[in-house]
Amino acid sequence: MDKIIVLDFGSQYSHLICRRIREFSVYAELVPYDISFEKIKELNPKGVIFSGGPSSVYNNDAPRPNSEIFQMKLPLLGICYGHQLIVDNFGGKVKRANKEYGHSILTVDNNSDLLGGVGDSLRAWMSHGDEAEKIPDNFQIIGHTERSQAAAIANKQESVYGIQFHPEVVHTEMGVQILKNFVLNICHAKQDWTMESFVEKTVGDISKIDGNVLCGVSGGIDSTVAALLIHKAIGNRLKCVFVDNGLLRLDEEHEIEKMFKDNFSVNFTAINAKRQFLDKLKGVSDPERKRKIVGEEFVRIFTEFAEKSGPFKWLAQGTLYPDVIESGVSKGPAAIIKTHHNVGGLPDWLDLQILEPLRDLYKDEVRKVAAILGVSKKLLSRHPFPGPGLAVRIIGEVTEKKLEITKVASKIVEDELEAAGWYDKIWQAYAAVGDDKAVGVVGDERKYGNIVMIRVVESIDAMTADWTRLPHDLLAKISNRITNEIDEVTWVSYVISSKPPATIEPQ
């Protein structure tokens, strides 16, 4: 399979480069910027992309790739900081400049090759404070803006390109076309990354493992698809275990057990561990600690089950690519956003090997795999749910009262969205609650009650998200139901922060 590797220099958009390339059926993988030359040769890419990043190439501690990359004669594209790395490496000069952030008009000076088919000009998304003062010998300027004279450069003989703007973000017009030009026309990568080929290869790889597999299933699409892939590969050597941690949606534990027993021919066991989880979380407010506790308790229960029902050699999980990136496992210079219970939250004492068949996929790719495997439309359209459950939708300590509020309020949100025809239009919707309280009036009496926060977002792959502009009458209906049906709630608020800078989940 042909692939493009993206060296991560810490840009918030690094992952989007991979995502956009995968959209036109070429496999792209995000790797650390200091990846070894030997590892690159092992990956055998058709081309290399340098991401953007917060650093300046003229600083002593600026992150730099292995110098041997430049000797490989592979097509190379630098984006933003990556553009400046190319200028600096080939003998040009980068200087501090006035910050250029947001939309700029890129005038195309050469509309062949990298900028082929994009027209004479386009709106490009800029995010930089440095610029190329002098471009290297044997390079030519192929695009400029009013404030960046060398916004796009090329050495066509060596297939090396640099662009100061970000083609991977939706704000750049024709950005996908520019990436296509590089990947398909310059790198000549074949479009052989399909979910059908992924299923075939993954099933083939898993069929070669020895030993039995223990798979934790939550009823969500990720763990369900992981289980079905593994079952397709090894059959009854897979054992699925559902742990009811008390942090699920309202009545979800019953729905999950019914779904697996009625629809999937896999070995399935349900374990009621509500009390264990809630006892472990008692008095804990820090979100990272809550994630660690939930992750460790899951694995502890699996380990105990494995000892009694095994032997098992593998623990399977529905880890996705965004989980890996956000947990810092990609080892780029970007900060860890949060620890995912099935990535960074695993305890050191785990003695089962980890099997993660979906760790290279984005959420929408998982949905395509699910459709191939015959998963029901209802599960395909179900909104994502966090691994640590309501522990991360309850701000502060997890209590029985806050759990009940969150479950009932979230059910009201989902029911009203369904009734109004909005549920399938959005990515995710839920209610969250914290420790803040506000005064309300019930009848003729003042009442001091909880504040419920409603979060509804639109997204493609959960890496970025925008808040949904719901009709005011629908918001009013949701608010009225929550305050009327949940005695402890006096206020309902609507969260209008997008990702970034916010995350989809509150914790």
Do 299 and 242 share a domain, yes or no? Answer: yes
Identify the sign of the CA torsion 352, 354, 357, 358: positive
Q: Which of 133, 162, 186 is the last residue of a domain?
A: 186
Do 200 and 251 share a domain, yes or no? Answer: yes
Helix (H) or strand (E) holding 78: strand 76-79
pLDDT the model gives residue 393: 96
Do 213 and 143 share a domain, yes or no? Answer: no
Respond yes or no: is residue 171 known to be catalytic.
no
Q: Residue 24 half-sphere exposure, CB side, CA atoms within 13 Å?
A: 18
**Rounded mean pLDDT of the chain?**
89
Q: Which of 186, 217, 250 is the last residue of a domain?
A: 186
Kindly state the tokens that stand for 256. Answer: 């999950």
Q: Which of 142, 162, 186 is the last residue of a domain?
A: 186
E-strand ranges in 317-367 read: 353-355
Average pLDDT over residues 380-388: 86
Chain segment 38-90, per-residue pLDDT in tens? 999 999 999 999 999 989 999 989 999 999 999 899 999 999 999 999 999 99
Which of 503, 490, 500, 496 minimizes the C-alpha distance to 456? 496
DSSP string computed for 278-300 = HHHHTT---HHHHHHHHHHHHHH
Contact between 429 and 475 under an 8 Å Cβ cutoff? The reply is: no
SS3 81: helix
Report the DSSP beta bridge partners of residue 223.
none
pLDDT the model gives residue 329: 45
In a domain, 438, yes or no: yes
Do 366 and 467 share a domain, yes or no? Answer: no
Do 207 and 180 share a domain, yes or no? Answer: no
Which of 302, 290, 330 minimizes the C-alpha distance to 223? 302
Report the DSSP beta bridge partners of residue 130.
96
Model confidence at 348, pLDDT cuts 50, 70, 90, reads low
Do 259 and 321 share a domain, yes or no? Answer: yes
Q: How many of the other CB atoms lie within 10 Å of CB of 251?
A: 10
Respond yes or no: is residue 80 known to be catalytic.
yes
In a domain, 410, yes or no: yes
Chain segment 239-272, per-residue pLDDT in tens? 999 999 999 999 999 888 888 887 788 899 999 9
In a domain, 386, yes or no: no
Residue span of the structural domain in which 220 resides: 195-380
Give the percent of the chain with pLDDT over 90: 65
Do 165 and 281 share a domain, yes or no? Answer: no
- Rounded Cα distance between 108 and 382, Å, is 44
Do 293 and 320 share a domain, yes or no? Answer: yes
In a domain, 394, yes or no: no
Catalytic residue among 83, 166, 341, 383: 166
Model confidence at 340, pLDDT cuts 50, 70, 90, reads very low
Do 69 and 41 share a domain, yes or no? Answer: yes
Which of 270, 272, 289 minimizes the C-alpha distance to 281? 289
Which of 9, 33, 34, 92 minimizes the C-alpha distance to 58? 92
Write the single-letter amino acid at 182: F
Do 138 and 206 share a domain, yes or no? Answer: no
Number of structural domains found in the chain: 3
Residues 6+ apart with CB under 8 A from 13: 51, 52, 166, 168, 169
Kindly give the residue spans of alpha helices, DSSP state H, lying in 270-419.
274-281, 287-309, 321-326, 363-372, 377-380, 400-419
CATH number of 424's domain: 3.30.300.10
In a domain, 265, yes or no: yes
Chain segment 3-49, per-residue pLDDT in tens? 999 999 988 788 889 999 999 999 999 999 999 999 999 999 999 99
From residue 299, give the alpha-carbon distance in Å to each of 212, 245, 246, 255, 308.
Answer: 16, 12, 16, 23, 14
Do 53 and 133 share a domain, yes or no? Answer: yes
Using the predicted structure, report yes or no on whether residue 335 has a pLDDT greater than 50.
no
CATH number of 92's domain: 3.40.50.880
In a domain, 387, yes or no: no
Report the DSSP beta bridge partners of residue 123.
105
Catalytic residue among 15, 18, 23, 80: 80
User: Phi-psi category of 246—alpha, beta or left, where left has phi over 0 and alpha has psi -120 to 50?
Assistant: left
In a domain, 391, yes or no: no
User: Phi-psi category of 102—alpha, beta or left, where left has phi over 0 and alpha has psi -120 to 50?
Assistant: left
Do 205 and 328 share a domain, yes or no? Answer: yes
In a domain, 47, yes or no: yes
Average pLDDT over residues 375-392: 87
Respond yes or no: is residue 383 known to be catalytic.
no
Model confidence at 336, pLDDT cuts 50, 70, 90, reads very low
CATH number of 363's domain: 3.40.50.620
Chain segment 282-306, per-residue pLDDT in tens? 999 999 999 999 988 888 887 888 8
Catalytic residue among 131, 168, 253, 365: 168
